[in-house]
Structure 1
Amino acid sequence: MKTVLIALDYDPTAEKVAEAGAALAKALDAKIILLHVIAEPAYYSSTAYAPVMGFGGYVDLNFMEPDIIDNLKKASEDFLNRSKEHLDDSAIETLVKEGDIPDCIIAAAKEQSADVIVIGSHSRKWLESIVMGSVTEKVLHHTTTPLFIIPTKKEA
């Protein structure tokens, strides 16, 4: 295994996913690529988002601006760079994609010749999972790349 693709979102559990993925990559002596996929801009304006690893750059964005995607790309790049700094490895590569999250993760894995995708599995209410679906589940069912799934359920 030469390349580990770590898919990160802005959920507070992203730090755990990044750390576990980096540990796997280091054990395999593999290249690390951090990926964030920009979804629909309204997705980021939700009050459910909190700063991750000290990152709150997307909070100040004006979601009514015509160039919001460019601003989201910049915020996403900043987020990934902070994640890279947190992992303390200057060799880590970063990648920002835009579109359907599962499709972009799968496409990025193919484009980057990733040997494994590291992704978190959030614990959501069952109704949310039925209505919204699960990014991890969609990636699992549509990729041929092996997955390393990090459970991020909060302990009771």
Structure 2
Amino acid sequence: MEKVLIAIDYHPNSEVVATAGYDLAKRMSAEVCLLHVLADVSHYGVNYSEFLGYPGYQNMGFDLGVSAQLQEMAQDYLKTAKKQFNDDKVSVALEIGDSHRGILKYAKEWGADLIVMGTHSHSTLEKVLVGTVASKVLEKTDVPVYMVPIKK
């Protein structure tokens, strides 16, 4: 294993996941990349025309400022997370879109040998109706996945 991709989100338990992944990677002398997948930012910046008497979103345009701000915040999050390891060799990456697709896409592009993820506790109903990012990655990946259990 030469490249370990650690998927993190804004959940506080990401620290546990990142630390477990980093420790494993160091034992294998592997490169480390922290990856965050930002939800499709276009949903946050659409300016809809008046509807139901509400004039708040005008001209059906796209506010690029919102997209840029969200991406800047995500990059700042990744840089801050990287500092926790005090290791200049740790890289960071940002993907935009569905979480499982972003993880799989970047893992392939970067040539990851292992993906590290957390297993957030979700309700049974949510798992049945929506599934989880972890299960979707496991279903579609060609790369081994190291799951870090996260419980309340």
Q: TM-score, normalised by structure 1?
A: 0.81
Match of 2:135 among 134, 137, 143: 137
Give CA-to-partner distance per residue, 1:67-86, whole Å, 9 cap, x none: 22211111111111111111
Larger radius of gyration: 2
Secondary structure in 1 aligned to 2:84?
helix
Secondary structure in 1 aligned to 2:94?
strand
In structure 1, the residue matched to 2:112 is: 114
In structure 2, the residue matched to 1:57 is: none
Unaligned runs of 5+ in 2: 45-61
In structure 2, the residue matched to 1:79 is: 77
Q: CA deviation at 1:133?
A: 1.6
Secondary structure in 2 aligned to 1:111?
helix
d(CA) in 2 for partners of 1:42, 1:77: 17
- In 2 relative to 1, CA 19–43 (structure 1 residues): closer, same or farther, beyond 3 Å? farther
2:45 equivalent to 1:21? no
Q: CA deviation at 1:100?
A: 1.2
Secondary structure in 2 aligned to 1:91?
coil
The one-letter code sitting in structure 2 at the alignment partner of 1:17 is: V
In structure 2, the residue matched to 1:9 is: 9
Same amino acid, percent of matched pairs:
39
d(CA) in 2 for partners of 1:149, 1:42: 30
Give CA-to-partner distance per residue, 1:45-73, whole Å, 9 cap, x none: xxxxxxxxxxxxxxxxxxx9542221111
Q: CA deviation at 1:132?
A: 2.3
Q: Which moved further from structure 2: 109-118 or 129-138?
A: 129-138
Give CA-to-partner distance per residue, 1:81-121, whole Å, 9 cap, x none: 11111122111000000011101100100100000000011
Unaligned runs of 5+ in 1: 45-63
Match of 2:147 among 121, 146, 149: 149
Structure 1's consecutive aligned runs of 4 or more residues displaced over 4 angstroms after TM superposition are 41-44
Give CA-to-partner distance per residue, 1:98-149, whole Å, 9 cap, x none: 0111011001001000000000110111111122220000000000100000
Counterparts of residues 45-124 of structure 1 (less than 5 Å): 65-124=63-122
Q: CA deviation at 1:10?
A: 0.3
Q: CA deviation at 1:42?
A: 9.5
CA RMSD of aligned residues (A): 1.8
d(CA) in 2 for partners of 1:123, 1:95: 25
